[in-house]
C-alpha cells in the first residue's frame, strides 16, 4: 500500500511504507491475524509473546516450552499471510523471557520490541558478537530519557552496538504503565514533553554511530492528526494499540472488541496490578469486585511474571486477561488506552489505515496553509 505523502519508517535495515507500529497486546489480543493484517497494509504488525501457551490445552508443567512453540507458530502463520514487517513484543519481566527471546531470534522475526523492564541482561546464547551481527532489529520500550540513556550506554560498552530504535510510551497508554500513579496525570510527563528529552538523549549516539536511531511515540496516539503532530515534533513513527483492537482482524473475541465500542470516558480507570504496577483498564464488574476486596480464587498456572507474588494476589492477571480475550469479561477485564472511549465501531485494518492516512494528509495540508506565528 502506498503511503502517499506520509513518510515511511526505517528501523535498522527495515523500511515500512507507513510510520505506524501496531502495539503488542497480550494475552492473545495481537496474534498472527492482526499483525499480518497491519503488516500487509504497510505498517509494522506486532505479535504479543506473553502467555500464548494459555491459548492452548497444554500441560501446566511445561508452559515455558509451550509458550515458545506457540510463539514460533504465530510468527510462521503471520509470515504465511504477508510479506510485510512482523515484530514480536516480549516483556522482560516474564519468567520465560530468555526462552521467548531465543525463539523469536532463531525464527528470524524482523523486530523484537523489549518492554516491561530494562533490557540489560540477555541469555548466554546471545553473545556480544551475535548481538552485533543478528538481522533481527531490537527496539526497547522506555518511558523516560533516563532509561534510554542507560540502555544506550550499557549496550555501547557491552555489545559495541546500540538499539535499532526506541518506543517511547507515555502515560496515556493502555496496560501496565512505567509511571507512578501521581505521574500519570501530571502534564510534565505528557508524551509531547517526554519526546524531546529522549530525542536529545539519542542524538549523541546517532552522531557517533553515523546512523539514525528512530524514536517511536506511543500512548494516546489516536488520529492521523496525532501522527502528524508527533512526527513534526521529531518522532520517526508512532505506536498504536487501542485503535487496532476494534478491527475485524484483531485476534480477540467480539465481546472483547465490543467492550471498547461501549466504553465511556468515565469507564477508563487506573488499577494497581498484582505485578506491582499501575495499569489502565476498562472498569467492569470484575474490577469492581476486586476493588471491593473480593479475592478471585485461582491456581497459578505458572509464575509468568518475575515480580508477581501470586500468594498475595487477589486474582491472577494472566488468567483474567485470557478470560477477557475469550469474551468472558465476567471473569476478567480489558486493558485499554486513555482514548478507548472514542472507539465507536469495529472496522477493517484496511479501512483504519486509510482513514489514518487521510487524516494525516488533512493535517499536513492545514499545517502548510496556516499563517506563520509572529
pTM: 0.92
Question: What is the signed CA dihedral for 312, 314, 315, 318, rounded to 10 degrees?
Answer: -50
What confidence score (pLDDT) does residue 112 get? 97
Q: Is the dihedral of CA 284, 288, 294, 298 positive or negative?
A: positive
* Consecutive 10-residue averages of pLDDT for the chain (374 residues): 72 96 94 97 95 67 76 95 96 87 94 92 86 90 96 93 96 90 92 97 94 96 97 97 97 97 96 84 93 69 64 79 92 95 97 97 86 58
CA nearest to 223, candidates 33, 84, 47, 20: 20
CATH 3.10.20.340 fits 9-254+343-369, yes or no: no
What confidence score (pLDDT) does residue 239 get? 98
Under 8 Å CB-to-CB from 238, ≥6 apart: which residues?
19, 20, 21, 216, 217, 218, 221, 226, 227, 230, 231
Q: Using an 8 Å Cβ cutoff, are 104 and 136 in contact?
A: yes
What confidence score (pLDDT) does residue 311 get? 66
What confidence score (pLDDT) does residue 62 get? 63
| Domain ranges (residues) in the chain | 9-254+343-369, 255-331
What confidence score (pLDDT) does residue 69 get? 87
CA 331 to CA 286: how far, in whole Å? 6
Q: What is the Cβ-side half-sphere exposure of residue 240, based on CA atoms within 13 angstroms? A: 27
What confidence score (pLDDT) does residue 309 get? 64
Can you say how many angstroms the Cα of residue 201 is from the centroid of all Cα atoms in its chain? 22
Amino acid at each position: 500500500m502506498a503511503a502517499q505523502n506520509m513518510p515511511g519508517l526505517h528501523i535498522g535495515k527495515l523500511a515500512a511504507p507507513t510510520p505506524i507500529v501496531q502495539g503488542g497486546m497480550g494475552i492473545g489480543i495481537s496474534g498472527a491475524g492482526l499483525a499480518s493484517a497491519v503488516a500487509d497494509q504497510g505498517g509494522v504488525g506486532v505479535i504479543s509473546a506473553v502467555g500464548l501457551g494459555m491459548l492452548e490445552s497444554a500441560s501446566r508443567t511445561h508452559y515455558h516450552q509451550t509458550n515458545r512453540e506457540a510463539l514460533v507458530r504465530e510468527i510462521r502463520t503471520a509470515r504465511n499471510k504477508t510479506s510485510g514487517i512482523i515484530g514480536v513484543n516480549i516483556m522482560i519481566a516474564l519468567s520465560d523471557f530468555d526462552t521467548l527471546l531465543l525463539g523469536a531470534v532463531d525464527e528470524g522475526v524482523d523486530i523484537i520490541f523489549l518492554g516491561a523492564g530494562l533490557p540489560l541482561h540477555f541469555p548466554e546464547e546471545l553473545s556480544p558478537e551475535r548481538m552485533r551481527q543478528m538481522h533481527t532489529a531490537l527496539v526497547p520500550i522506555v518511558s523516560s530519557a533516563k532509561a534510554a540513556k542507560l540502555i544506550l550506554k550499557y549496550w555501547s560498552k557491552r555489545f559495541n552496538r546500540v538499539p535499532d530504535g526506541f518506543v517511547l510510551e507515555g502515560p496515556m497508554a493502555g496496560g501496565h504503565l512505567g509511571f507512578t500513579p501521581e505521574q500519570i496525570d501530571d502534564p510534565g510527563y505528557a508524551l509531547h514533553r517526554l519526546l524531546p528529552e529522549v530525542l536529545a538523549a539519542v542524538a549523541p549516539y546517532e552522531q557517533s554511530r553515523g546512523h539514525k536511531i528512530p524514536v517511536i511515540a506511543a500512548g494516546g496516539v489516536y488520529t492521523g492528526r496525532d501522527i502528524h503532530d508527533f512526527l513534526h515534533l521529531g518522532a520517526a513513527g508512532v505506536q498504536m494499540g487501542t485503535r487496532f483492537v476494534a478491527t475485524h482482524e484483531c485476534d480477540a473475541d467480539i465481546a472483547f472488541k465490543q467492550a471498547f465500542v461501549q466504553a465511556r470516558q468515565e469507564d477508563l480507570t487506573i488499577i494497581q496490578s498484582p505485578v506491582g504496577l499501575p495499569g489502565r483498564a476498562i472498569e467492569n464488574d470484575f474490577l469492581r469486585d476486586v476493588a471491593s476486596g473480593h479475592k478471585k480464587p485461582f491456581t497459578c498456572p505458572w509464575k509468568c511474571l518475575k515480580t508477581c507474588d501470586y500468594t498475595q494476589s487477589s486474582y491472577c492477571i494472566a488468567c483474567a486477561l485470557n478470560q477477557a480475550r475469550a469474551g468472558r469479561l465476567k471473569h476478567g477485564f480489558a486493558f485499554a488506552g486513555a482514548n478507548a472511549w472514542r472507539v465507536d465501531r469495529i472496522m477493517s485494518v484496511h479501512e483504519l489505515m486509510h482513514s489514518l492516512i487521510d487524516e494525516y494528509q488533512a493535517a499536513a495540508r492545514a499545517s502548510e496553509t496556516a499563517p506563520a506565528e509572529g
